[in-house]
Amino acid sequence: MAKLLEGSILASKIKEEIKLQVVSLKSKPVLASILVGDDASAAAYVKSQGKTAQGLGVIYKLHQLDKNITEGVLIDFILNLNADKTVNGIILQTPLPKTIDYKLVSECILPLKDVEGMHPLNMGKLFFGRANMVACTAGAVMELLNSTGVDLYGKEVVVVGHSEIVGKPLMLLLLEKFATVTVCHIGTSKAGKLEEHVKRAQVLIVAVGKANLIKGSWIKEGAIVIDVGINRVGDKIVGDVEFEVAQKHAAYITPVPGGVGPLTVTILMRNLLQAIKLQK
């Protein structure tokens, strides 16, 4: 039976380190959060960020903007935060209203304040193995992998999902560790090849958003399974991997909820401290 990789335990350890660093600063770190409109999932994420920030001594400044805001006004708002020396980090909550181009607007965030690690400059640094701030979910997955003590060198790692916030940055972080990385996506499934790839994964990371996409019987004996997916099924939250069967084959597996999720916000706060160092 697999050992559970619980994000909250790891998050508590990292938070203790963050708290120590925060008290050593001259002034409290300030994280500006921009929430446009009234999306329920974004509002829930904001609440969790605010609570984590408070527990760490970080000032969380929430800016709630009208859903009818124009792209131009939103960009001006961000430019003001860029120029504000009291603000250390900026996070633009998603999803944004359909009238706003996320890529265009998020690129206006000063790279040194981009605590989500999504600015092209920060992504580019990741490409060259010189990342300052790594996309939070990808960073959380790497922390979980690191906590197993398993050396990734030469391991067959399969990532399912190639989004810009999870799969793509992970691919680069895993290559840094000299893992042999295969990235699967919808095209892999459509070609009928997903099972074949998953079955040979010594490390499997899934970030798709489809409940039970990965059958438990596909998991290689002794594999490490990191399930990033969050899906609501009835009144339950489940991941993308068929957990009950998968845990019989894996050596390590993340529960959903309670795996990657609790760590993501912690990595965001760690990025904020990194941002402060860079701003100095």
What is the binding site for ligand NAD (CB under 6 A)?
137, 160-163, 165-167, 184-186, 188-189, 194, 207-210, 213, 228-231, 260-261, 264
The Cβ of residue 120 has, within 10 Å, a number of other Cβ atoms equal to 12
Nearer to ligand NAD, 36 or 110 (CB): 36
The minimum distance between CB 62 and ligand NAD, in angstroms, equals 19
Nearer to ligand NAD, 182 or 189 (CB): 189
The minimum distance between CB 101 and ligand NAD, in angstroms, equals 16
Nearer to ligand NAD, 108 or 263 (CB): 263
The minimum distance between CB 239 and ligand NAD, in angstroms, equals 8
* Residue pointed to by tokens 């009835």: 234
Task: Indicate the SS3 state at residue 149.
Answer: coil
* Residue pointed to by tokens 């010594």: 202
What HEC string does 230-254 produce?
CEEECCEEECCECHHHHHHHCCEEC
The minimum distance between CB 45 and ligand NAD, in angstroms, equals 9
Which residues is 224 bridged to in the sheet? 203, 252
Nearer to ligand NAD, 191 or 278 (CB): 191
Alpha helices in the chain (DSSP H): 7-23, 40-56, 71-83, 102-106, 120-127, 136-147, 167-176, 186-190, 194-199, 243-249, 261-279
Q: Which amino acid is at 222?
A: G
The minimum distance between CB 63 and ligand NAD, in angstroms, equals 22
Nearer to ligand NAD, 30 or 89 (CB): 89
The pair phi, psi for residue 160, each rounded to 5°, is -105, 115
Nearer to ligand NAD, 166 or 173 (CB): 166
Report yes or no: 168 and 206 within 8 Å, Cβ to Cβ: no
10 Å CB burial of residue 135 (0-12, 13-18, 19+) is buried
